[in-house]
Amino acid sequence: MFIDYISLMLINLTAGLALLAAYLYFGLGSSNQRRWIPGFGIVGAIALLTGFHMTLTWPVPGSFNIAFGETTVLFGILFVGTALTLAMGWELLTLGIYGFFAGLVSLLIGVRIINLGLTQISLLAGTGFILVGLGGVFAAPTLYIKESRLLRTIGGIVLIAAAFVFAYIGLTAYWVHLANFSTWQPLPGK
């Protein structure tokens, strides 16, 4: 039996997307940037830990390790970078530029998940990746024109839609994994 913690990664992604949407709408440009640091830091730490482990060890079958592991590393480093940037009072624009390229990867993976039928709910999973990718691609323009309430609102809506997709998938994964792994026992001597 393989190790499967994709459900943790999905719920962490959900929390991060909701946090980012809230930051876009309420926090970007506000005077109190420090209050957002713990949330971004926690989401980033969990994403980096699980993403790096999945990327380096391939604990689940097939290309899920690429789709979920590598994108989780990109997501995690952006969130850790955001926490650090807010703590130091630096400008966020360079993270938006990095987010553009991470967004392209997420868009590509979303399309490919749908194209290959990689999951039982490929259309929904692929759509989630595409929505996250759109958020990444439009991060730099949103950060550059942060006074545009319209752009921030559209970005927040896209991120909330992605959060709902991944919340559904993640909570469903917990439901199924608790049943499927309920009789699992470690190998003797482990």
Claim: this prediction has a pTM higher than 0.75: yes
For the chain, residues with pLDDT lower than 70 are 1-2, 189-190
Helix (H), strand (E), coil (C) string for the chain? CCCCCHHHHHHHHHHHHHHHHHHHHHHCCCCCCHHHHHHHHHHHHHHHHHHHHHHHHCCCCCCHHHHHHHHHHHHHHHHHHHHHHHHHCCCCHHHHHHHHHHHHHHHHHHHHHHHHCCCCCHHHHHHHHHHHHHHHHCHHHHHHCCCCHHHHHHHHHHHHHHHHHHHHHHHHHHHHHHHHCCCCCCCCCC
What's the CATH number for 6-180? 1.25.40.600
Domain range annotation of the chain: 6-180
For residue 2, the model assigns a pLDDT of 67
